[in-house]
Amino acid sequence: MHSLKTIFRLSLQDYSHERLLSACAILGLAAVLAPLLVLFGVKSGIINTMVDRLIKDPRNLEITPIGSGRYGQEWFSAEARRAGVAFVIPQTRSIAASMVIYNPNGGQPRTLGVDLIPTGAGDPLLEKWGRIPAEDTAVVLSASAARKLNVADQQAVVGRVGRSVSGRKEQVTVDLKVAAVLPLEAFPRDAAFVRLALLEATEDYRDGFGSQVFGWPGKPRPTGSRDYPSFRLYARSIYDVAAVRDQLLSQGLEVYTRAEEIEVIQSLDRSFTIIFRLISLVAVCGYFASMASNILANVNRKSRHLGVTRLIGFSTGSIVWFPVVQSMATSVLGTAAAAGLYLIADLTINRTFARYLAEGEHVCRLAAGHLLFAFILTLALSMLASAYAAFRVAKIEPSEVIRDV
């Protein structure tokens, strides 16, 4: 034990005595490792930012039907239960799903025709950017609609629905309250997100029926199950989009998704990973060879001194650590230097691209785990690189080397 400890110290004292050579070895390692860390950092930073944007953006989860169909209550309950589906809600006929919103407040009264979009508990779009309307008379306005109407959150507005019954124009109104205003990126058109009840009442009114809920005149709608021409559907995650899409396609539906864009990024990630691995492999092989030859040359140069340690009586089992300890020291200090260089590069790169990035996004990013992995890998490779040198040390015959001058 003392013998091993003494050899460790001996090895480190030699390492620090030959500080110029040791510094070269450390810089040699840092010169290989730092660019790899930066490359990997940029790869994972860019890909993660893109993937994060994909994942965090509910619009990428949306599966939009093209054209119209007939979807009954049963279809909706089946879809809602399907694994991979986060949210599904019926959409009424698009021609009937509109309303004029009137803002009587402020200097100049304004009106705007908006699309009505159904929403309800679990709507990812509103959960991210707005608030789910709690009452049938609450609306969430898109940014453009709110701007044109000059209304803000919590303001009261009036909704107007018109119809023409045998040539005669009729109109009903409903007092609404703005529950939230979506940011611009959430929805591009003039739209109001409302609960399904208001949409159904609007459609019924246009069909000539009345609504008890909103007190609109007309004969009641005949009872019986209702079919819807369309729907809003969101997958649970971007990884579910393709499967849900394929399932809908198999039902004969035409749908639009952003699956292609997601796949582009995923394949970009895979390609980057392959390129990164190739570069790493070449760099690691080169470094391994140069490190192994360095250590071996060092051991050969010191064979006399190592012979003397045997002559003094240090065991083979402890002397073999002499080159190993030095290469471990190189890997610790070299990784630290590489990490330092990486951090400088990380700060510079992220600062350069700061204006293209949202809060918490990075162009260059390395998790602590990745750094730790790089260190452990370097340490293991260094020890492996010194294995042959250690073997040579074990074979040193004191009687052959101690009298060399």
Partner 1 sequence: MSNSSIQAVGRGEIVELPAPGLLEAPRVFHLQGISKHWPGDHGFKLTVPHLTIRRGEKLALVGFSGCGKSTLLDLLAMVLRPDEAARFAFFPTPEENLDVAVAWQRKDLDGLARARMRHMGYVLQTGGLFPFLSVRDNISLSRQGLGLPAQNAVETAAERLGIERHLDKFPSQLSVGERQRVAIARAMAHEPSVVIADEPTASLDPINADEIMAVFTELVEEKGVTLIVATHEWERVEKGNFRRLEFHLKKNTPHGIVRATVSG
* 3/173 with CB nearer partner 1: 3
List 313, 355, 359, 368, residue binding partner 1 (CB under 8 A): 313
Residues 59-98 that bind partner 1 (CB under 8 A): none
List 87, 314, 322, 342, residue binding partner 1 (CB under 8 A): 314
The 283-312 site mask, x for binding partner 1 (CB under 8 A), equals: ---------------------xx--x-xxx
Is residue 247 within 8 A of residue 83, CB to CB? The reply is no
- CA–CA gap between residue 75 and residue 226 (Å, rounded): 11
Helix (H, G, I), strand (E, B) or coil at 222: coil
Residues 156-215 that bind partner 1 (CB under 8 A): none
Q: Which of 231, 201, 193 is nearest to 75 (CA)?
A: 231
User: Shortest Cβ distance from residue 310 to partner 1 (Å)?
Assistant: 7
Is residue 389 within 8 A of residue 296, CB to CB? The reply is yes
* 263/397 with CB nearer partner 1: 397
Residues 2-41 that bind partner 1 (CB under 8 A): 2-3, 5-6, 9-10, 13-14, 16-18
* 258/310 with CB nearer partner 1: 310
Question: For strand 230-235 and strand 62-65, is the pairing parallel, antiparallel, or unpaired?
Answer: antiparallel
Is 324 exposed, middle or buried, given 0-12, 13-18 or 19+ CB atoms closer than 10 A? buried
| Tokens 């992220």, located at residue | 350
- State the number of binding residues for partner 1 (CB under 8 A): 29
* 78/312 with CB nearer partner 1: 312
- CA–CA gap between residue 163 and residue 386 (Å, rounded): 87
- CA–CA gap between residue 6 and residue 272 (Å, rounded): 47
List 73, 77, 154, 315, residue binding partner 1 (CB under 8 A): 315
User: Shortest Cβ distance from residue 373 to partner 1 (Å)?
Assistant: 33
Helix (H, G, I), strand (E, B) or coil at 58: helix
- CA–CA gap between residue 102 and residue 83 (Å, rounded): 41
Question: For strand 168-181 and strand 138-141, is the pairing parallel, antiparallel, or unpaired?
Answer: parallel
Q: By CB under 8 A, is residue 351 in contact with partner 1?
A: no
* 112/306 with CB nearer partner 1: 306
- CA–CA gap between residue 401 and residue 26 (Å, rounded): 29
* 221/310 with CB nearer partner 1: 310
For partner 1, the binding residues (CB under 8 A) are 1-3, 5-6, 9-10, 13-14, 16-18, 304-305, 308, 310-317, 397-399, 402-403, 405
